[in-house]
Amino acid sequence: MPEAVVNAKLKREIIRLKQSGRSFSEIGRELNLAPGTIKTHYYLATGQPSAPQRIPESPYIRYDEPPILEGDALILPDVEIPFHHAEFLNRVLDLADAWGIKQVICAGDLLHMDSISGWEPNWVPSRERTILSEEDESRLLAIALSLPRNKQQAIIDIIGESAGLDGKDFSAEMGFARKALMALDKCFERFVWVLGNHEGRLLRAINSPVNPSELLNLMRLDSGKWEIGPYYYAILRSGGEEFRITHPKSVANGAARGLAAQYHQHILMGHSHKLFMDFDPSGNYWAIQMGHTVDEQRLAYAAQRDAKRDFHKLGSVIVMDGRPYLLHEHTDWERMKKLA
C-alpha cells in the first residue's frame, strides 16, 4: 500500500500522536508512513532538531510481535511427531471436540527431527516389516481420514510401521510426519506453531538462517490456517486473561513460576516434559509446566538407558473462558466431556 500524502491535517495528527507519548514507529504503523517520514515532518513542524542531528533509530528488527490468538484454545506441548503418543493425543482431541475448541497452539517441538539430531546412533531391534507402495499408503490414509477420529490413528500407525522407520531417514520421517499433521489439520480451524529446540535442529543441519514459514512449506501446511513466526512463545487472550505459551530455555522445576513473575502473565510452558500446576509468588498468575505429548518409549535416548527424569508426564492444556484445564493420564475423560 503506498504511503499517505502528508498534508497539513496529517502533520497536526503526527504532532498530536507524538506528544501523546507514541513512538515514531507506532505512529508510522498507524498512519501508513515510514518512521523517517514521521520524524522529518514532526521536527520541521515543531522546530526541534532534525533527525540527522539526533541518534538514529536502529534499522534492525525488533522481536516484539509474537503470534497472538484470541479466544479459547487447545495447547499441545512437545508432540515431537512422528514419535507422538497417539492414544493420549486422541483422548485430548476428542475432549477438545466435545468442548467446541477450534484453535490449537503447538507449544514447541511439534516435530522431532530425529534424523538430523545430534544424538549418537542407537541400537535398533531386528523387525521384519512389509513395505507398502505409495499408492497403497494413499488408499489406506484416505480410508483412515473417513473414519471417526478415535479410529484414524490405528490405521495411520499401521502405515507408519510398514515403512520400516528407524528414525534416521529424513524423507521417511518427514513423510510420516506430514500424514500425522494432515489428520491433525482436519480437526481444527486455526493453528499457531511455536518454535522449539527440536525445530532448531533444522537450522543447525543446514547452517543457515531460515524463515520459519519454510517449516509450513516442508510439511505442506496452509499458511492461511497455520501461523508461525521467529518466536519461541505466543500469546493467548481468553476471557480477559493473557497467557504466555512458551518453549523456554530453562527446564528447571520452578521455571514457569519465575517466568510468570517476570512477565506478569499466566505461563503455559513446554520443553521440560515435566507436569506441574502452580502459581507465581504473588498468587495472581498460573504457572503451569504442561508435560508432553510425545511417547518417550519411542525415543531411544530416553527408553534404552535408565536416567532420572523426574515428573515427566503426558499432559496438555485447554484454555476456555480465561481458565486453564490441565489434562493428564489420570483425567476422567468421559466426565470432562459432560462439562461442555
CA of residue 295 relative to chain centroid, distance: 18
DSSP symbol at 34:
-
**Residues 17, 110 within the same domain:** no
Domain that holds residue 214: 71-114+188-337
**Residue 307 domain-assigned (yes or no):** yes
- pTM here? 0.73
Confidence of residue 291 (pLDDT cuts 50, 70, 90): very high
Segment 263-286 mean pLDDT: 96
The answer, yes or no, to whether residue 53 has pLDDT greater than 80, is no
**Residue 261 domain-assigned (yes or no):** yes
**Residues 102, 16 within the same domain:** no
Q: What is the CATH number of the domain that holds 326?
A: 3.60.21.10
Pick the more confident residue, 90 or 164.
90
**Residue 207 domain-assigned (yes or no):** yes
**Residues 239, 275 within the same domain:** yes
Cβ(205)–Cβ(119) below 8 Å: no
Signed CA dihedral, 197, 198, 203, 204: sign only: positive
Least confident of 20-29, 41-50, 152-161, 167-176: 152-161
DSSP symbol at 230:
S
**Residue 150 domain-assigned (yes or no):** no
Pick the more confident residue, 328 or 164.
328
The answer, yes or no, to whether residue 166 has pLDDT greater than 60, is no
C-alpha cell recorded at residue 7: 498534508
**Residues 41, 76 within the same domain:** no
C-alpha cell recorded at residue 112: 522431532
The helix/strand/coil state of 132 is coil
**Residues 13, 109 within the same domain:** no
**Residue 33 domain-assigned (yes or no):** yes
**Residue 146 domain-assigned (yes or no):** no
**Residues 256, 332 within the same domain:** yes
Q: What is the DSSP string of 267-321?
A: EEE-SS-BEEEEE-TTSSSEEEEE-B-B-GGG-HHHHSS----TTB-BEEEEEET
169 φ, ψ to 5°?
-100, 110
Cβ(55)–Cβ(44) below 8 Å: no
Cβ(269)–Cβ(256) below 8 Å: yes
**Residue 164 domain-assigned (yes or no):** no
**Residues 285, 195 within the same domain:** yes
pLDDT tens for residues 195-228? Answer: 998 888 877 776 667 788 888 888 889 988 999 9
Pick the more confident residue, 288 or 82.
288
**Residues 18, 106 within the same domain:** no
Helix locations, 107-210, DSSP H: 134-145, 149-162, 170-185, 200-206
The residues pairing with 317 across neighbouring beta strands, listed in sequence order, are 75, 326
**43: Cα within 13 Å, side-chain hemisphere:** 14
**Residues 103, 198 within the same domain:** yes
Domain count, the chain: 2
**Residues 248, 200 within the same domain:** yes
Least confident of 62-66, 210-214, 285-289, 300-304: 300-304
**Residues 43, 84 within the same domain:** no
**Residues 104, 39 within the same domain:** no
Ramachandran category for residue 136: left, alpha or beta (phi over 0 → left; psi -120 to 50 → alpha): alpha
**Residue 241 domain-assigned (yes or no):** yes
CA 192-311-330 angle, 5° bins: 75
